[in-house]
Structures are given as C-alpha cells and as structure tokens.
Amino acid sequence: FCILFYSAYFLILFSIFYYLFLFFSFCYGSQEKSQRSPPSAPINLLSSVNGTTVTLEWAPPLDKGGRQDVTYNVICHRCTWGGGHCESCGPRIRFLPQQMNLAQGSLSISNLLAHTNYSFSVESVNGVSDLSFQSPRFVAVNITTNQAAPSQVTAIDQQNVGQNSVTLLWSQPDQPNGIILEYEIKYYEKDKEMQSYSTLKSKANRTTVFGLKPATRYIFQVRARTSAGCGKFSEALEVETAKATFLLFFLPSIFLTIRRFGQQGRECCHSQLCPSSAHNRHCGYSKAFQDPDEEKMHYQNGQESKFYLDSHTYEDPCQAAHEVMREIDASRIKIERVIGSGESGEVCYGRLKIPGKREVPVAVKSLKPGYTEKQRRDFLSEASIMARFDHPNVIHLEGVVTKSKLMMIVTEYMENGSLDSFLRKHDGQFTVLQLVVMLRGIGAGMRYLSDLGYVHRDLAARNILINGNLVCKVSDFGLSRVLDDNPDAAYTTTGGKIPVRWTAPEAITFRKFSSASDVWSYGIVTWEVLAYGERPYWNMTNQDVIQSVEEGYRLPAPMGCPVALHQLMLNCWQKEPEERLRFSQILGILDKLIRNPQNLKCTATLNRFTQTLSERSHIDFTHCSSVEEWLDSIRLGRYQENFALGGYSSLGMVMHMNIE
C-alpha cells in the first residue's frame, strides 16, 4: 500500500511539473517568435512632384514585429512609358537624407530625368528581417516627373584666340531634360559686367565671337535653353585676346575699310536685310558691333545694358516669328465676340481647339484689313518677343496665324481684362494685402524679363492683364495702345512715342531705357494700383509732368496708402537710375509685407502728402486767396474736401504744415 501511495504521489508531482514545463515553454516560445518577426509594409505612402524632384512621405507599419528598431529602404526604378520594363535608376539620383536605413518616414529624391516614369518602393525592415526567408514588405508608388530646364553647362573651353575673336567649344549639359533649342553665350570685359555685357545665340555647341578688343581679358559663360526655359550659366571662362601686330602706316587704310564696312552694315540693318551670320549672331545685338548712333537697338546707362529682341532685322518678320513660335491653323479658332480695339486692330474672345483636348478660351488680337507694312512688322515683332517668355506672371502666347488673310496673335484669355479698368470698376473693394499680392505678381514678371535682359519700355496698369483668380500678368510687348488722334497720350521724341507719365526722366530726355527705367514705371504702376486705376498726374499736361518731375515733384500717396508702399514708390522714383531699387529688391520688400501684414496698417498722412507739394519751388501763394484756389492752381482740386476735413481752412495753416 505504501509503495502504491508514493508511486501515485510522485506520478502526480511529475505530471504537474511536466504540464508547468509545457506551459512556460509555450509562453516563452510565443514571445521568442514575436521578437523575431519582420514588420509589415509601411502605410499611407504619399508623393509630390516638383519638376524633377520627388518628395515621399509614409506612416509606420501597423505590425512592427514586436520590435522598435524599424527602419526603411527606398528602391528606385525608371520605367518605360508602357510600363513593361523597369530598370534601376542608377547612381546619379540623389536621396536626402539617405536612401537606406531611414529612421523617419520621409525623404526627397532629386536629379531625376524630366518627363520620365519612375516607380518607388518603400521597404520596412527591423533587426530580424535578414533572418527571415521572406522578402521585406513594401509599398510602392508610380510617378511621372514634370518638364524642367536643362542642367548647367559644366565644360567650356577656348579653341582659337585671335586679336578680335575667340572660338569657344563646350559640352552638352549632363541633364538636358529635353531637346536643346539653342545655347546662349554671355561675354563681357573682365570686371565690367555691371557696365555692359553682350549675348549671342548658337544652335551648335561651338561658336566664334567676333568684334573683341585686342589684348583684352574677356569673361565667357554659356547656358542651354529648352522649351522649359534656360539652365544656369556655366562657370566663367577667362580668355585674353591676342595683341595687335599690324604696322602703324597701315592704320589709315584699315580705318577707312572698317568705316566703309560699318556704313554698309548699318545700311543693311536699316533696310532690314540682315542675314544670319555663320556664327548665329543677330545683327545689332552685340555691343562689339554697336555704333553709337544705333541707340534704338542698344540702350545703356551707367549700370547695366539690355538688349531688345527686334524681328525687324529679318528680311521677312515671319521668319523671326516662325523660329520661336508655332503656327495655328485658322480653322481651329472660333471667334465669339470683340472685347477691345486698338490703333491697328481688334482683340476678340474666342476658343481654340487643341487636338486631343477640349477647347480652351483665348484672346485673339488681329490686324485690321488694309494694314501697312510697318504695322505688319510691329505685329509680328510683338509675337516673336512673347514667344520667348514662359512665366506665370507674363502673358502666355498660344501661337500665331500668319498664313491666313487675317493675321492673328493668340494668347491665353484673361477674364478681368486690363488692370486699370478692372480696378476702376471695383474701386475700394479689395484689401491692401490683396493689392500687394497683385503688385507682387507684376514684380515677379518684371524680374523675370529683367533677368532675361529685356526692357519693357511701356509698363503701365493698362498693359497688365488680370485673370479670374486675380493673377496679374505683364503684357503688350510691342504694339502701342495709344491712338494717334490723342495728342496728349504720348510724348514724341526722335525715335518714337514715349508714354510720359510712366517713363523715367533719362528715358524721356536721352532715350536711355534700362531695367532702372522699368523700375520707375513699376513705381507708377504701384501708385495706379493703390489709387484704383486713377490717372497718374491727373489732368496735368505732358510738358507739366516733365517739368514737375525734373523739379523734384513726386506723386503723393493715394488715400489710405500704407507708408511702406509709398516709400517703395519713392525708391523707384530716384532721379539717378543706379539709386533705384532692383526688381529682386522690390520682390523682397513685398514678400516681407505679405508675411507681416501688420506693417501695412500705418497709412500715409495728409501731412506727408502736402510736404511733398510744399517742396515745389514754383508754388506761389500770393496769387491765391483760398485753399481751394491754391489746390486748383496746382491741379489737385479733388483734395479740397480732404483739406477741409483735416482742418486746413486757410493758406496760413497750409504754409505751416511742415512745421507741424
């Protein structure tokens, strides 16, 4: 009995320990298993494309495998358009901060090719993923990059150097991002870039620059251009031309020969029979070939020089137009109504049928029947200029119609028309911040044109178009909107009409147009915007405007205008061109005001307004018996009520406004 009792007792104890062992083994094994599981795939993968840069963001996996050491790897593949074949992206792609072992759920991928399909896979791994027989779990996304400008030209070298010429050779950009349309060569004398520089175009990656000075150091830079825009200029290449070796007694005959050829060249340009040279340089655009009398082609101030695009140097301006823009079949345009008219044509609203897409609204500018040859050339000149621009704040050209009886320029349609008319129609309906955003758009467009080396010469609110989203775009690059039968509309000097109220003093007096003169005009546009389309200088004659500006008079701040914006105008109206703001500086000021709108709350006072007036030396109070009469004498009678509300009821009080 005892033996049976102890046997049963030990059997029960053994069973208890055995089952306890199995229980703890099961629990331990489950925990051990959970510590060795790879994670599941990441979730919520998002992508954004900006040109040739992609940003990826994702959330952690739902199952981390019981571990906290989850990291991520990003795999890149470049795919064909059909999606049937994909290959590794290669080492040129740049991943920020890194491609493998990412701790956070985001990265940026750059140096991608333009207009290319890519597939990106984001893997999640942990410390035991390498021990698993399964491939890492991943989530994938397919994207297509956008159009982008070419990369920088990295290799430029001299091939031949003469006394008056240099032959250059360069390589194609590493990333052309499309078909290279042309190369732009910029050159200038060393340390004189700010005074003057020249540019020329080349279809090939080799060109010869002529017209240089002997024994002079020049700086050369090259950049490529595609339909998406221009890339960055290459690093500067410094080249010194050879010394002159001819004998002194040859100089008179050489001088006469050069002068004779120079006169023939000018006759060629003036008769518009300038064929393209073997080096793809357009007649009249290079400083080295510039005659001082040819100011109409190359205006220069002491600070910078700019070059105008001029299709008149072609025998047929259609040649210039077709080199840079596309011809539209007239049958694809459906004109619905007239929305404006000008000196030589009409502007209509229409719809353009684009193959494979729906119709898009367009503005169609057409020449009236019976146009002159000059009007035809001016018409095509404007189109050829517009075709070279691609910026959200510059009007976009869809194309031209030149093979039809009715010649047309087709541009994007801007629902709200010209800015001055739009503001007059909606007087006082916008906040100051909204007006500043409009000005910022105009400034961005002008900086773009200035950076390209173009001078507008006719910047005014009437030449700014505004769409339904209140986006302002610079327009009118050649056709004057001023009618011939309006004698007060423009001031005429040798070489053509000038819109006096918007034009800088040096441009009126000496016809020196530059980016600085455009900045002056931008200051007038700023005044127009803050004054809701009011006419600058009101009913003053052009001669009065010229005289007043020369004497130091500047437009007063419009009613309710912030001090910061009026100061911006005054900085645009500095008498010396080099003292005016640059468009890049103007954008910086406007951006700060947009970020800090509280700085727009301080408005210009009546005291500030009249101080500007009292500085005019020719104002004579002795011939006036009242404030009203004095205001009428200086053509500011519209402000009589404001003076009365300010308590200035006598001329004596007005005379002491500066002291107060």
Main-chain phi, psi angles of 627, to 5 degrees? -65, -40
* Annotated catalytic residue, options 310, 420, 458, 518: 458
Instruction: Write a three-state SS string for 237-282.
Output: EEEECCCCCCCHHHHHHHHHHHHHHHHHHHHHHHCCCCCCCCCCCC
**How big is the chain by its Cα radius of gyration, in Å?**
35
CA dist 220 to 173, 182, 207, 276, 600, Å?
17, 16, 12, 22, 44
Strand order in the sheet with 408-412: 333-341, 345-352, 360-367, 408-412, 397-401
Is 365 annotated to bind a ligand? Reply is yes
CB 153 within 8 A of CB 173: yes
Main-chain phi, psi angles of 528, to 5 degrees? -60, -40
**What tokens were used for 390?**
């691609």
Nearest-angstrom CA–CA distance, 130 and 152: 42
Residue 458 falls in the annotated catalytic set: yes
Residues with Cβ < 8 Å from 572, sequence gap 6 or more?
Answer: 519, 520, 522, 523, 526, 580, 581, 586
Nearest-angstrom CA–CA distance, 589 and 45: 38
Q: Helices 583-595 and 432-451: crossing angle, nearest 10°? A: 150
DSSP 433: H
**Residue 180 neighbours by CB distance under 10 Å:** 17
Strand order in the sheet with 53-59: 43-50, 53-59, 106-110, 94-96
Is residue 405 exposed (0-12), middle (13-18) or buried (19+ Cβ within 10 Å)?
exposed
Nearest-angstrom CA–CA distance, 490 and 404: 33
Main-chain phi, psi angles of 618, to 5 degrees? -90, 0
Residues with Cβ < 8 Å from 329, sequence gap 6 or more?
Answer: 401
CB 621 within 8 A of CB 651: yes
Rounded to 10 degrees, the C-alpha dihedral 635/640/642/643 comes to 100
Nearest-angstrom CA–CA distance, 420 and 422: 5
Residue type, 617: S
CA dist 405 to 338, 370, 409, 411, Å?
18, 11, 13, 19
Residue type, 360: V
User: What proportions of the chain, in percent to the nearest 5, are helix, strand and coil?
Assistant: 35, 25, 45
Report, as residue numbers or ranges, the catalytic residues: 458
